[in-house]
Structure 1
Amino acid sequence: MKQMSDIFAAPVAQLGASTFTLGQLLLAGGALLFGLMVLLVAGLWRAARARAVAAAEAAQHAREAEARMVELTRAQAELQGRMGSIAEVFGNRQAELTRALSERLDGMSTRLGQSIHQQTKSTHENLAKLQERLAVIDTAQNNIQSLAGQVVQLQQILSNKQTRGAFGQSRMEAIIADGLPHGAYEFQATLSNGSRPDCVVKMPNDAPSLVIDAKFPLEAWNAIRAASEGEGGSPEARKGAEAAFRRDIDVHIRAISEKYLLTGETQDTAFMFVPSESIFAEIHENFENLVQRAHRARVVIVSPSLLMLSIQVIQAVLKDARMREQAHLIQAEVVRLMQDVGRLDERVRKLQTHFMQANRDIDQILTSTDKVTKRGEKIEALELGAGEAEKPAKDDNRLAPKPPAGEGGPGSGQLRLRVVDE
């Protein structure tokens, strides 16, 4: 026992100047444990109380919610009744409104149908006219776009000497091929003097051919544009370029006049094709002396539009010549047609004679059938006597054979019949 007390009295810990024994520590731990137990019991009691309060509140809320549900159920029932009444009223009103709307829609549909039919007819006519106009506008627009693209790319294409001649040649060939039938023209044909123009148009009635040249010199023209548009351009440079341009055109005109105007083989006038409308306008506006010189040399400067117009005139002349060539064939066909009509008239008249003969034969057949019918009626009525039976008819072709002796003789009381051929 003393040992136990010594153990509890023995110091086990020191904090600062204070020394703590095992008994003090155990006592303090017991006191601390008791306090914790008290706190735990108090916490459990407060938790149980809080749960009880929460349960009471939940029960109160449940009773209130149940009361509210009952009230809501009653209100819902009343609302359903009212909604049924309103639905019935609205159904009647909707039926009336639907019927009125249907009648109005029927009348409106009829009027709209008539109006739409008239409007559709008018719209169709207007659209047809509009389509025709749009087709014309579309064609013109396509031509304008094509021409605009060609004008935009003209300077780039013509700046190359190798492609310049091919470009002018292709433009000219396209216009000629589109406007004239195959065989009415020839490209790169050789004349009697050995020269080879770009195109030769064959004229009708063995007339001399028309020569078209597409080798237009553009070096001096490009120099003029460079002197006018370049930063270092000057009036002296432009005058020099214009003089070179006049000289080149003059040389080209003389070459065309000397090489392509052959008496009896070509026309007295030749065409010098300019592949650009702007160059053509510039020449006629600022180089009038070149135009007059070309006229005196019997060389006509033409642009694509003027060449197209000239080709259309030549096409009309060729068509008229072909019609004149075919006139004698038409006359021969008309003569054959008249002969066929004469033979047809003769055959119709013969057929008419046959019909008239057939009508006369039918009339005679009808006369014979009438006589046969009358004699049959007499036989049926027993009006033909014995004496009459023995007399031959006036129009009989042969007599009927006599009956055997003792059978139907005169006075025998039997009726004899004679077969009569009408």
Structure 2
Amino acid sequence: MEKLMQLKNPEYVRKFQGMCGVLIKQNNNCGSSTKNTRYGHRHEESRRKRNRNCPYQNENNSGKTDVGTNECNGDSFGDDADDGHSSTKNDNSPVAYEIKYKLPYYLAQIGAFLGDEIFYFVFYSYLAWNLDMVVARHTAMVWSVVMYLGQRTKDYLQWPRPPAPPVIHLEACHLHESSMPSTHAMAGTAMPIVLAVTISSRYECSYLLVGSVAVLWCALVCLSRLYLGVHTILDVLCGFISSIVICAVMIPCLPNLDYYQQHHAFAPLVILIAGISLCTICYPTTEKHGAKAKAVEIVSVTTGICVGLWINYQLGFVTEPHEPMPYQITAPTLKWTALTLCRFVCGSAVLGVGYILVKTLSVRFFSMYFGLDKVDERHPSVRMAHKFVTYFVIGFMTTCGAPMFVFKALGIERISAFYECY
């Protein structure tokens, strides 16, 4: 156990960053010149875009940044975000750095993107609307369990992020959360495993190709957390191993679980009670900047997906497939490509409008329900309640509203989607 805990040492992360070309600039400070920093300007512009929408950035630092300094470029957080488990404190010394090698940096950015909310939205909606609803919902079910347990464990353990220095934080938007385990590593392990298993069982494909893509996906996400300096080796290793265990338990149960949530008369009630319980009774934390908000989003969107699947089957929108598996994979045509783009654009527009409308109404409703003098989205009870309702609707619209009503009305529906049922 003592040897295992040594993997928590941030010096190992710093050594890995050094091997990949993330170097500390000696005898430099926040006002250092940028002329000696290879790729410095392009690197910093990319990182600013990734962190621009982070609600936890210290606004007092805006306009005072220089290329190649992690603290001076928005990686430090204000007092309101310092909840005791962030490793980035206000008294950290600035760390000037340079990106020596271009390729590892961009690979790490890709790996980080594979664990971000934008990727989840694009991936799951495109997969469900254009490729295979069964693969999408099986992956979503395992992903939701993995992410919920990961977020819950973070708030329970409250381990700090690796401190800077010695490491260099190249990503700031997740530093307000605790470190153990790495949910990026958990999702980056579980998703490709479930995809590989499900696709291999449903389609005629090369096991070697599918397995290679899964391994590459997993390695890219896990190693990106070390390169960006936001997790220790122990965080990533625990996230990886826990996802393997969860996948081993859940994957054999997915067909039966899928059948139950579509056929049983009381499935929506059970799913709703379970979802609300997971967000309240089973997760009582009130930390302002903890991981609960993300856990609520994950549980609620999955709850909406499952309820939408039940309605699809009960109303006769979907039936059992007529052809036996495995299916053949055909080459995409120009018409198919155009329809996929139309479905994705129209579906995204529907989800975007629905998100804004439901969020606005739910925030107002819960502000009145909890007896507040004015509308307050940041109030802890209002925040969690409106997130559950809003993301529940997003999940429901993804599996039922958009494909079964909007696409059908526009004549761009995917015919095979009506037969993707257990």
TM-score (norm 2): 0.20
By relative contact order (CA 8 Å, sep 6+), the higher-ranking structure is: 2
Larger relative helix fraction: 1
Larger relative strand fraction: 1
When Rg is computed on C-alpha atoms for both structures, the one with the higher figure is 1
